[in-house]
Amino acid sequence: MDAVKGLKITTLADNLTFHGSLLGQWGLSFLLEIRGTDDRRHTVLFDTGAVKDALLFNVDRMRINLSNLEAIIISHGHRDHTAATVELARRSRRRVKVIAHPHTFKKRFAVSKDGKKRFTNVPKGEGEKDIEESGAELIVTREPCEIISGVATTGEIARLTRFEKTSERWFILLGGQAQRDHLLDDQALIVNVRGQGVWVLSGCAHSGIINTLRRVERLAPSLPIHAIVGGLHLVSKQQREIEPVVSALKSYEPKLVSPCHCTGFRATNMIWDDFEEEFVLNFAGRTIVSQKLTRPKVI
């Protein structure tokens, strides 16, 4: 896997914000500005938040220019990651590639303890037809997809660990039938940065962050895991469930760990305890640059 020369990640949407002029939301969106292998500058988005107006407000308030946006990667088909795909694609002068798994745009729902259904699928106006009508090129695949040299999606992630499981209350409609939803559309983004190794960006890591890292190892077997940034979906887990995840994370010896969104306070605190030097608190407005120390690490 080729190596890019630099990476800058700006969090456009997250649950937290420490900037008085920005809006928080239960959702996630990252802007990636990449200095490619050929020294060209590339702009990529990973996920598009939960609240369209709030995300667009943050983009405008931070004066982010998306006229050269090349690609939007959708980590999975939940509404808190897919609210503004069409609107952001339209801001580019280019024909934006939108990369997603075949299950991303299927109807899906969660069932509460009292039996009520809560639909969690991609919101109205952000579906396959809407994306194509916006002028974007929709690429639907289970396989890894190269965005530019040195940057690729993981594609579908195998479930190998015993301690990372999806909820039994999630369902997806396939062929008109409701089936248990194992979130097979969950995928991460990997960026190989020169002199460092692989940066892994996760939306929610419904596959499990350790399963995700094992997938990265298969795709880039000779490269170290340098950084892990994004949601880890440990928000509803108990300490005994989080401990094996954190223990396994330690075996990768990442140099930067920046959990956010659906990681949850308990898990975030446990990760901070075990990765005191590597930990960076994430929030809307946070910028992380591959060749610089992120300061302050925690606010």
- The SS3 assignment for 276 reads coil
User: For 182-202, how does the pLDDT look when each residue is reduced to its tens digit (9 = 90+)?
Assistant: 999 999 999 999 999 999 999
Q: Which of 3-7, 79-83, 254-258, 292-296 has the lowest mean pLDDT?
A: 292-296
Task: Report the candidate in 132, 131, 108 with the shortest Cα–Cα distance to residue 121.
Answer: 108
pTM (2 d.p.): 0.97
Mean of the per-residue pLDDT values of the chain = 97
User: For 109-147, how does the pLDDT look when each residue is reduced to its tens digit (9 = 90+)?
Assistant: 999 888 899 999 999 999 999 999 999 999 999 999 999
Instruction: Give backbone dihedrals phi and psi of 222, rounded to 5 degrees, phi first.
Output: -95, 0
Q: Residues 12-25: what's their mean pLDDT? A: 94
Please, what sign has the CA dihedral across residues 55, 271, 233, 157? positive
User: For 203-251, how does the pLDDT look when each residue is reduced to its tens digit (9 = 90+)?
Assistant: 999 999 999 999 999 999 999 999 999 999 999 999 999 999 999 999 9
Q: What is the pLDDT of residue 115?
A: 87
Report how far residue 70's alpha carbon sits from residue 161's, in angstroms, rounded to the nearest whole number.
34
Strands 170-174 and 108-111: antiparallel
Q: Residues 3-20: what's their mean pLDDT? A: 96
Tell me which DSSP letter residue 279 carries.
Answer: B
Structural domain boundaries in the chain: 6-289
Q: What is the pLDDT of residue 265?
A: 97
Q: For the CA atoms of the chain, what is the radius of gyration?
A: 18
Q: Which CATH superfamily is domain 6-289 in?
A: Ribonuclease Z/Hydroxyacylglutathione hydrolase-like (3.60.15.10)
Task: Report the candidate in 96, 99, 83, 101 with the shortest Cα–Cα distance to residue 135.
Answer: 96
Residue 276 clears pLDDT 90, i.e. is over it: yes
Report how far residue 156's alpha carbon sits from residue 278's, in angstroms, rounded to the nearest whole number.
28
Report how far residue 242's alpha carbon sits from residue 226's, in angstroms, rounded to the nearest whole number.
21
Residue 299 clears pLDDT 90, i.e. is over it: no
